[in-house]
Amino acid sequence: MRVVVADDSVLVRDGLARLLEDAGVEVVGRASDPDGLVGLVRAYTPDVAVVDIRMPPTFTDEGLVAAAAIRAEFPGVGILVLSQHLAPGYALRLLEEVPERTGYLLKDRLTDFAVLVDALRRIVEGETVVDPTIVSRLLNRRRPDDPLDRLTDREREVLALVAEGLSNDAIAARLVIAPRTVETHIGNVLAKLGINEDGQQHRRVLAVLTYLRHASSGGAPPVS
């Protein structure tokens, strides 16, 4: 696996690169700003670009802008965005603009290289990865007459794993149940929440996250 790393902090950038190299990942380039990142992608066409969400000059959403630019020019390059702060809105924006082979993790996850490398592997394989902390925060925001109350405990477990981007087989392995049982649970969850099923994994994740965001803010229209 070949990656490029972009972060304005030299300590974070070099530390992340060293962590990846120790895990057997080939780091082919390091950048401190969006222009440098895009230049590295053009030069090396890596499997994944690992991008800090806030970079110069304004330290707001330059990472997301760079991710969208990379995907537009190099649709085969995966994107893993890292954030210091819990920002569900940024995660949703990333999935909307760069829907496939995409991940959004909090920087706290960098202390566990196994989580980081697993996220990169899943992105290369075409999956979507969403930090479980974001999913948990959205699931735990409640409102009156919350449709989430219609779900069984097992269905809530399955919903959380769907929102994190796990495939049906991965959910089955995590919960030690049969894949067909997972399919049944997912069908029940989506029906109870008024979400239309979609065969594309990233669309399913986006639909669930969008629902949870609307639910936490007081209104949850069906997502198609």
The residue among 103, 129, 155 that closes a domain is 129
DSSP-derived 3-state class of residue 2: strand
Q: How many domains does the chain have?
A: 2
Closest C-alpha among 187, 194, 120 to residue 158: 187
The residue among 104, 129, 154 that closes a domain is 129
Closest C-alpha among 223, 184, 217, 222 to residue 203: 223
Q: What's the pLDDT at 207?
A: 74
Instruction: Give residue 120's region: left, alpha or beta (phi > 0; psi -120 to 50).
Output: alpha
CATH number of the domain within which 144 lies: 1.10.10.10
For residue 223, tell me if it sits in a domain: no
Whether 124 and 153 share a structural domain: no
Whether 117 and 142 share a structural domain: no
The residue among 129, 152, 174 that closes a domain is 129
Reading the chain (224 residues) residue by residue, the pLDDT tens digits are 999 999 999 999 999 999 999 989 999 999 999 999 999 999 999 999 999 999 999 998 999 999 999 999 999 999 999 998 877 788 888 888 887 899 999 988 887 888 899 999 999 998 889 898 888 887 877 666 777 888 899 999 999 999 888 889 999 999 999 999 999 999 898 888 888 766 666 777 877 877 777 665 544 433 33
Whether 6 and 49 share a structural domain: yes
Q: What's the pLDDT at 215?
A: 60
Full domain range(s) for residue 208 = 135-217
Whether 122 and 171 share a structural domain: no
Whether 139 and 125 share a structural domain: no
